[in-house]
Amino acid sequence: MSPDLATDGGPTLLKLETAQNTGAFKIRGAANKMLSLSDADRARGVACVSTGNHGRAVAHMGRALGIRVVVCLSELVPNNKRAAIEALGAEVHIAGRGQDDAMAHADKLVADEGLVLVPPFDDPLIIAGQGTIGLEIIEDAPEVNRVVVPLSGGGLLAGVALAAKGVDPQIRTVGVSAERAPGMLESLRAGRPVDIPEEKSLADSLGGGIGQDNRYTMAMVDRLVDEHAVVSEQDIARAMTFAFRHHGLVLEGAAAVGIAALLANKLAPCTGTTAVVVSGKNIDPDDFLAIVTSLEP
Ligand SMILES: *Cc1c(COP(=O)(O)O)cnc(C)c1O
């Protein structure tokens, strides 16, 4: 909790998914999905496409369950994320300039080698796994009035919003997108999935579109989310610096967007308690140091 992050006098709670095994919340959905695979599917092996953290979670579960894992990454995925996936014994394929290219490669592996796809967000079992965060927030802090959640493909936000509103329909749900990764926002505006050019961002885990064949997360985010905010690269850098200086937290850019939205006053006023999902910590240590030492405190 942080006095500096207080909104209208209400406290702000941070839900620290940085403490998860594999360093990000993605282990929740990956575990739920992979534990539900049949023995026949486990024997075939799995493929996934990832900005890094989903692949690491799938690799971790593959090792735990004895399942072959192939992770398809684009060239934009940072080296530290690739190395962590390889260290878990998964095969890594680097395919193309962005998530769409990596997805096409994964689809080919599924067709050619009979691997089972473990989607990064648009899957009921993945959404349900990420949604356990919402249940835990309410269990720990039943007084919460608002939850603020990073947004990319929307598995995290859809799950958290469904769980939170399922328990308490009054809870206000807020999605925070990075300015350089507006895939879901543009899609909601257009009323259909929109492909966006993938740009380098501090929030590398938020990159990519929502998939042209999106079945679940777009409709759920549309229905369950009360407010959207967008943060700039500078907002994210400030939030990472703030979280480090005031809370001793090492956050990757994607995990800092909720704090960024609060610090930059980008959210509608809300009295009461706010919970912010802080989604992961998998940033290269040298990149992190460069960011948090380059700004004035
Ligand atoms: C994947 C990821 C997100 C976004 O999750 P979606 O389900 O794609 O919206 C946010 N933060 C981190 C650290 C992630 O790895």
Residue-wise pLDDT for 209-249, tens only, equals: 999 999 999 999 999 999 999 999 999 999 999 999 999 99
CA of 48 to the centre of ligand 1 (A): 15
Ligand 1 atom index nearest CA of 126: 7
Q: Which residues pair with 173 in a beta bridge?
A: 147
Ligand 1 pocket member 239 (CB < 6 A): no
pTM above 0.85, yes or no: yes
Residue nearest to atom 1 of ligand 1 (CA): 205
> Residue 98 has what pLDDT?
87
Residue 245's nearest CA partner among 259, 230, 261, 231 is: 259
User: What mean pLDDT, rounded, does the chain reach?
Assistant: 95
Helical spans, DSSP H, in 49-196: 53-65, 79-87, 99-113, 124-140, 155-167, 183-190
Ligand 1 atom index nearest CA of 149: 10
Residue 91's nearest CA partner among 113, 124, 123 is: 113
Ligand 1 pocket member 7 (CB < 6 A): no
Ligand 1 pocket member 183 (CB < 6 A): no
Residue nearest to atom 4 of ligand 1 (CA): 152
> Residue 1 has what pLDDT?
47
Contacts of 62 (CB under 8 A, 6+ apart): 34, 46, 68, 69, 88, 89, 90
CA angle at 234 for the pair 230 and 238, rounded to the nearest 5°? 105
Ligand 1 pocket member 154 (CB < 6 A): yes
| pLDDT tens readout for residues 68-117 | 999 999 998 999 999 999 999 999 999 998 888 999 999 999 999 999 99
CA of 26 to the centre of ligand 1 (A): 7
Burial class (CB in 10 A: 0-12, 13-18, 19+), 91: middle
> Residue 6 has what pLDDT?
53
Phi-psi region of 239 (alpha: psi -120 to 50; beta: other; left: phi over 0): alpha
| pLDDT tens readout for residues 274-284 | 999 999 999 99
Ligand 1 pocket member 20 (CB < 6 A): no
Q: Enter the tokens of residue 151.
A: 């947004």
Question: Residues 128-142: what's their mean pLDDT?
Answer: 98
Instruction: pLDDT band for 8, please (50, 70, 90 cuts).
Output: low
> Residue 154 has what pLDDT?
98
Question: Residues 40-50: what's their mean pLDDT?
Answer: 97
Q: Which of the pair, 97 or 27, is modelled with greater confidence? A: 27
What is the percent of the chain where pLDDT is above 90?
91
